[in-house]
A and B are shown apart, each in its own frame.
Chain A
Amino acid sequence: MTTTTSRGVRLTLRGAVLGRAGAPVLEGIGLDAVPGEILAVVGPSGCGKSTLLRTLAGLLPALGGEVAQDGEAITAPRAERALVFQDDALLPWRTVRANVELPLAIRGVPRAERRTRAESWLARVGLDGHGAKLPHRISGGQRQRVQLARALAAEPRAVLMDEPFGALDAQTRAGMQQLLVDVLHGTGATVVFVTHDVDEALFLGDRIALLPTGRVLDVPRPRERAAHADPATVALRREVLESLTPAH
């Protein structure tokens, strides 16, 4: 087990206008994600959560305001900001291992090292021995593990996750959330995790950002499911839920 040494970055939005040209979905949004934390972004469907993430990834240009990494404007995708999608983002013609190797190949890592690193990451997400399979031969939950391995194998400084467990059943989802916390531990990477599931946000997030307002709530630690029964968490949960109910 190697511990990655990647350091996190600070991702900042200041008065940002996001969306496609002529059709902004988020206006005047401000956010701050700091190294080593998981910032959970919660909001009702269609509020622009994915747009926010795509803009941070550099896939969509900001229409206005500031979108920056360590003070430098984000204008194009970069390998140091990995994006994890909801589903079907693995290349179906590549084996599981070849999918994990792809970001390493793009960075010019030699073949033998690529293979060792991919295998080691597959083992860390519990997919030892599945490397030679094609993505459609494994389950949906396993595919998301592969996506996680693919994102982390490249030692990114920021991991942007767009409802990565949204298509999974409740049990698998709980297992994946724990796995995510475990594998992220010690990487120091900045994580922005978009979800519409309040409990997922409470469990994973160090802080929760509510869209579309951009209001940020701190989540009490330690990170344990039992803690959900305590009054502070219950109050926090209610507050998040209320923010999700449309005002009109």
Chain B
Amino acid sequence: MNRFSLSGRAATLAVVAGAPRSRSPFAAAGARFLRNRAALAALALLLLIVLACFVGPLLLTNNAIDSDWSAISLAPTAQGAHWFGTDELGRDLLVRSLEGGRVSLEVGLLGTLVSGLIGVAYGAVAGYAGGRIDAVLMRVVDMMYAIPYMLIAILMMTLFGRAFYLVVLTISAFSWLDMARVVRGQTLTLRTREFVDAARATGVKPLTIVARHIVPNLLGVVVVYASVTVPSIVLTESVLSFLGLGVQEPMTSWGVLIEDGAQKLEAMPWLLLCPATMLCVTLYCVSFVGDGLRDAFDPKEH
């Protein structure tokens, strides 16, 4: 028995037959993304690079550490499967580029994840709370902006030694600032939307409103912004490594390889060109994918 039933006269509307299957806004954005050829190609290439970096070193006969004494400072060649050549210690550059790529991508993805989590939580709370809380939280962000991250990075590395997790930590500690600002701005406009008022009017708690009503509406912006953050973090890591502050030998990264290659550019140009090309291609792909996501989430494209 329907306890809500009303006997009245208001017209009952005809049932719409065969209405299309329900689709969430995310699914709709996904479908739009899949129609974007350029972004799709970039995504495929990116996945290929990621796969190669993580799985490739396991499949190749050479490894990143051992020297091949019969092949020192070799230009790219089929001999001994040194497709990218070798460095002056006879280490295979292809494997080292893949290994370095794995480290760089790990830093990039982990850093983006951490900065995204902190940035979204921080920005959404600041934007939704507003007033004094917002002012205090955002002044903290402003203060952090004023600290030169390079100085902190140098300090951390000299105090605690060069370690992978320290690189991620240092980069994440600063890269969430932009995300927090973007998210806060977006939250400020979302906060005035009527569905947030409606949620408040039905007695939903503030933190629940942030988590359930604000954050899902932010995800489009966050995903797009994250795709910009990945390359910036990979580049930051490269810069740190280039300055000798990044990961430690024999571990390597694209930054380390490029630094190394840059010093021997005239004698062995492949040492620079091979890892640099991989880095550039990866960053281009991420940017393309990010552009595609932005278009897919753009309400004007609907």
- Is this pair of chains taken from one and the same complex? no
